[in-house]
Structure 1
Amino acid sequence: MSSIDELKAGVAVIILNEENEVLLQKRTDVGQWGIPSGHIEIGETVSEAAIREVKEETNLDITITRIIGVYSDPTSQVFHYPNGKVVQFITTCFLAEVTGGELRCNSAESLDVQFFGQSRLPQNLLTMHPRWLKDALEKRDLAFIR
């Protein structure tokens, strides 16, 4: 395993529309598609961070409906930034529903935001995100710990 520079707490939010399509954002930092996600800021709860990140990145207001899981395995949770920094994330992933707002790129962190059918996800999807989506679709009551 390569050297890891930092350990950070993160959140990710899976949002499905009425057609069961998943909301993805094309990130500016790596040019890849991914589930809306980000860092927890000092003084925030994980749910506050999830709600804030979705609003910042997509302009949508959400309500969290359940926790999908907590992910910390370095084989999937290490992210290599273009500037060379390597970060391992401990990510709490939620399922949420939209309660308001209008979908649009709402920050410098997003090149695009749109819903994708689960059978036509983009090829350049961040490596850890398919696992989160698969876990979300299992619709089990207990959270995954991976």
Structure 2
Amino acid sequence: MNQTVKKKQTLFPAVAAAIFNEQGEILLQKRRDVGQWGVISGHVEFGETVESAILREIREETNREAHIKRLIGVYSSPTSQTYHYPDRSVQYVTTYFEAQLTEMISKDFSKEETLELQFFKTDQLPDNLAMMNPHWLRDALSQTSQVFIR
């Protein structure tokens, strides 16, 4: 008997942050779990607001405090926000902020989830980027007060 096993499907609230330095370069994290580069991001924990969640994620991943400069947008498109794992599929609804570090990160920084942190020129990003919304960088660089819903 050919039986198809349906993967568990979950919807998770998530947060992400675009963090720029004074030269306009964007901070990317090379994640230990997938070995790919991406913006600082994570899950919203029960009892947290999205604002407190992103500030906690920044603190956990960089060992630095930050403040939120603006809301960039909310990303929920199944095309760019669904990840397929061996046992489940997860669609993230990601609240995306621009944040600023209160002090610079130390060189050669690494932590449990972070292999490396590095600022990149926005036109010279690494090849091995994690899957993200195709508009993530353009939206972050936008100088309008528009909040993007994607």
Q: Report the number of matched residues.
A: 143
Q: Is the 8 A contact 1:35 1:129 kept in 2?
A: no
Q: Secondary structure at the match of 2:102?
A: strand
Q: Is the 8 A contact 1:70 1:145 kept in 2?
A: yes
Pair 1:89 & 2:120 matched: no
Pair 1:51 & 2:40 matched: no
Pair 1:39 & 2:32 matched: no
- The amino acid of 2:77's aligned partner reads D
Distance 1:21 1:7 in 2: 32
Q: Secondary structure at the match of 1:128?
A: coil
RMSD (Å) for aligned C-alpha atoms: 1.8
- The amino acid of 1:94's aligned partner reads F
- Determine the structure 1 residue equivalent to 2:3: none
Pair 1:60 & 2:58 matched: no
Q: Which has the larger radius of gyration?
A: 2
Distance 2:149 2:113 in 1: 28
Identity of aligned residues (%): 50
Pair 1:132 & 2:139 matched: no
- The amino acid of 1:44's aligned partner reads E
Q: Normalising by structure 1, what TM-score?
A: 0.90
Structure 2: stretches of 5+ with no match in the other structure: 1-5
Distance 1:90 1:124 in 2: 23
Structure 1: stretches of 5+ with no match in the other structure: none
**Would the alpha carbon gap of residues 121 and 4 (structure 1) be closer, same or farther in structure 2, given more than 3 Å must change?**
farther
